[in-house]
Amino acid sequence: MVVSVKQLEKQYGAHRALGGVSLDVEPATLFGLLGQNGAGKTTLIKILLGLVAPTAGEASLLGQPVGTFSARREVGYLPEDHRLPEYHTSTSLLDLYGALQGIPRRERRRRAAELLDILGLAGREKLRIRGYSKGMKQRLGLAQALLHSPRVLFLDEPTDGVDPVGRKEIRDLLLEERRLGVTVFINSHLLGEVEQLCDRVAILRKGKLMVTGTVADLTRQKASWLIAFDRDMPASFRFAGATVEAVEGGNRLRVSLDPADGPGPPQSADAPEGIDRFVAAASASGLRLRHLERERATLEDLYLAIADGGGTP
């Protein structure tokens, strides 16, 4: 495992920041760490980086106890509120950081030019950082985190302030890093982006790990369908066990089915037979099907349910 945490606790006086968190992260994984402010995300990352000592429990990084010099050399880190010396240019800053990391001069300059090009900063090498936008500074911070080709990346809100084109470039870069075997640990409030990018996620609430798993498992199918016909559904149309409501902002309908009701034998919530019978009944009444898709729960649904009270939708 790249990251292994067992019953990790952290106490700040009377405040318990982490209360027995356990999780594992495998190599070459894009892992999303989610939770409200104060949930314990930053504390967990600081422990993994060796910046804060846990009160109890165990944590290892790349098979070594957290905080060891050899493990930290393999880590790239972009904090949320990073500050870059603004009198530098992008090339002079990366050259300085590369020298501090012991990267040979030719190699660090080659790598810096490569990253600036990938992140859309090529052509701005002579501009001092004080003239950069927030999004440009964010891209440069990511270049700094990647400069020494780390095996593990910890990124706190990596696309904060970045325009849509820049976010796409950063996503593509992180996917390529994963392909090369890098493990990426992302902390972000952009839930749609996490859902699109990450392989696995964990959600913390008040220092407790509420749920962890693959995005596919956590964004499961619902027992509802989005459907559209060639014309409005007649007011007289009825189908036992179905609740039909208009979807705001479009001409589609949401059809929710109770698997215990309706004609025929009871079906499980995952079975498609109920919606097949619904469509057949609508067709018999003269409606022609134009669109049909199964709804899925989103990470936002899950996140909000946990934030509201610790449950799941």
DSSP for 9-75, please give it. Answer: EEEETTEEEEEEEEEEE-TT-EEEEE--TTSSHHHHHHHHTTSS--SEEEEEETTEETT-HHHHTTE
Residue whose tokens read 């959600």: 203
Q: Which tens digit of pLDDT belongs to each residue from 254-300? A: 888 775 544 443 344 445 678 888 888 888 888 888 888 877 777 88
The reported pLDDT for the residue numbered 149 is: 93
Query: Cα angle vertex 194, ends 190, 197, to 5°?
Result: 135
Structure tokens at 46: 């600081």
271: in domain? yes
Q: Are 185 and 230 part of one and the same domain?
A: no
Q: Are 211 and 234 part of one and the same domain?
A: no
Where residue 241 falls among pLDDT bands split at 50, 70, 90?
confident
Q: Which of 169, 200, 218 is the last residue of a domain?
A: 218
pLDDT higher than threshold 90 for residue 158: no
* Threshold 0.85, pTM exceeds: no
Structure tokens at 18: 């982490």
Angstrom distance (rounded) from CA 145 to CA 79: 10
Angstrom distance (rounded) from CA 287 to CA 232: 8
Q: Which of 218, 249, 269 is the last residue of a domain?
A: 218
Q: Which tens digit of pLDDT belongs to each residue from 184-222? A: 999 888 888 888 889 999 999 999 999 898 888 887 766
Q: Are 38 and 176 part of one and the same domain?
A: yes
Greater model confidence, 249 or 286: 286
Q: Are 263 and 204 part of one and the same domain?
A: no
Contacts of 16 (CB under 8 A, 6+ apart): 9, 10, 207
280: in domain? yes
pLDDT higher than threshold 60 for residue 175: yes
Q: Are 63 and 193 part of one and the same domain?
A: yes
Q: Are 74 and 205 part of one and the same domain?
A: yes
Angstrom distance (rounded) from CA 83 to CA 90: 13
What mean pLDDT value characterizes the chain?
A: 86
Q: Are 194 and 52 part of one and the same domain?
A: yes
305: in domain? no
Sheet with strand 75-78: strands edge to edge: 75-78, 152-156, 183-187, 30-34, 200-205, 208-214
Q: Are 252 and 120 part of one and the same domain?
A: no
CATH code of 284's domain: 3.30.70
68: in domain? yes
Q: Are 122 and 233 part of one and the same domain?
A: no
User: What mean pLDDT is predicted for residues 71-98?
Assistant: 92
Q: Which of 173, 196, 218 is the last residue of a domain?
A: 218
Q: Which of 72, 209, 224, 86 is nearest to 150 (CA)?
A: 72
Q: Which of 161, 150, 33, 151 is nearest to 140 (CA)?
A: 161
Q: Which tens digit of pLDDT belongs to each residue from 47-58? A: 999 999 999 999
306: in domain? no
Q: Are 208 and 266 part of one and the same domain?
A: no
Whether the CB-CB separation of 132 and 179 falls below 8 Å is answered with no
Q: Which helix (H) or strand (E) holds 308?
A: helix 299-309
309: in domain? no
Q: How many domains does the chain have?
A: 2
Q: Reduce the DSSP state of residue 77 to 3 states and report it.
A: strand
